[in-house]
Structure 1
């Protein structure tokens, strides 16, 4: 299976998964919560995998989580050369992920128009930040075929670690 076929297959599986959640609950808000929760668990797992990368330097600021983890790892996760756009304003970070097969080929029925089809992404980001010791609030700002997916990250606090930063 080629890489593009694999991405298309993943999009079909994900679409079927979202449709199944809608069939089970028929509650758009509940589906959005579930997608965020599942994304959070995926983010924890991804961050553990990223943390094993020997070339990864010490991550001790939210900017480093964005620059050294999310921006560097996104192309391999998305199978795309398109970069994540970043805006930083104090403790708020806005990440704009380029349009993908998940935003380009999705048609959600009017009845379910409130479904955040890319709703796993805020949870994934929350999980990644948590592994690197930052508590954040994430908000899906936009998901569209033209813009892609825009997520706001508000850094709430640094999670204390048992070992001081100076000790390795």
Structure 2
């Protein structure tokens, strides 16, 4: 019988991933966000965009490590992709397992609901940032970059965050399109 995605995530986390001190990651990430806020002089939309770009570039490279370590078979559907992302990917890299919820009727959009967000430990947003800053926006970029490398163009965005006073931290992920393998122009 095939292992569940949750069990695969647990196994990879326990046996195939080098552990990094979570507090060090949290504090380092916080320093990056604080510096971006300073560099962009409180333009939180620009900070969000920069965090997304940084995450996208990380995701482009992180997928190779994920595929090598997780050894999961190719996903047959977007629903299965969502389960693998939540139960294997997030477990493997952040030791959290967000819930997959709120599927759209056409199964092209879902939510990841986080009970905990290790990037947000020890964080309190300043009042002027509460309305605009999505503190963990780097995760949206990571998802976009990683899924693009496996032929899925997605839109990922936070719709609520406990740091902004919401009850839950929720990220919406929407499948834009399945990418086709294309030859670069001039390659025959």
Q: Fold match, TM over 0.5?
A: yes
Question: Structure 1 residue 156 and structure 2 residue 170: aligned?
Answer: no
Q: 1:134 touches 1:158 (CA, 8 Å); kept in 2?
A: yes
Give the alignment's Cα RMSD to 1 decimal: 2.3
**Structure 2: unaligned runs, 5 residues or longer:** 1-18, 184-188
For 1:122, which of 135, 140, 156 is the aligned residue?
A: 140
Question: Structure 1 residue 106 and structure 2 residue 123: aligned?
Answer: yes
Q: 1:62 touches 1:129 (CA, 8 Å); kept in 2?
A: no
Which residue in the other structure is 2:74 paired with? 58
Report the 3-state secondary structure (helix = DSSP H, G, I; strand = E; otherwise coil) of the residue aligned with 1:140. Answer: strand
Question: Structure 1 residue 12 and structure 2 residue 12: aligned?
Answer: no
Q: 1:93 touches 1:152 (CA, 8 Å); kept in 2?
A: yes
| CA distance in 1 between partners of 2:143 and 2:81 (Å) | 10
What is the CA deviation profile of residues 119-146 of structure 1, one whole-angstrom value per residue up to 9, with x for unaligned ones?
Answer: 1111111112111111111121111167
Runs of 4 or more off by more than 6 Å in structure 1? none
More strand as a share of residues: 1
The two structures have a TM-score, normalised by structure 2, of: 0.74
Which residue in the other structure is 1:86 paired with? 100
| CA distance in 1 between partners of 2:145 and 2:57 (Å) | 7
Q: 1:7 touches 1:79 (CA, 8 Å); kept in 2?
A: no
What is the CA deviation profile of residues 83-116 of structure 1, one whole-angstrom value per residue up to 9, with x for unaligned ones?
Answer: 2200222211111122233334211111222211
The two structures have a TM-score, normalised by structure 1, of: 0.82
1:148, CA displacement in angstroms? 5.0
* Residues 1:54 and 1:20: Cα distance change in structure 2 (over 3 Å): closer
Report the 3-state secondary structure (helix = DSSP H, G, I; strand = E; otherwise coil) of the residue aligned with 1:99. Answer: coil
* Residues 1:117 and 1:47: Cα distance change in structure 2 (over 3 Å): same
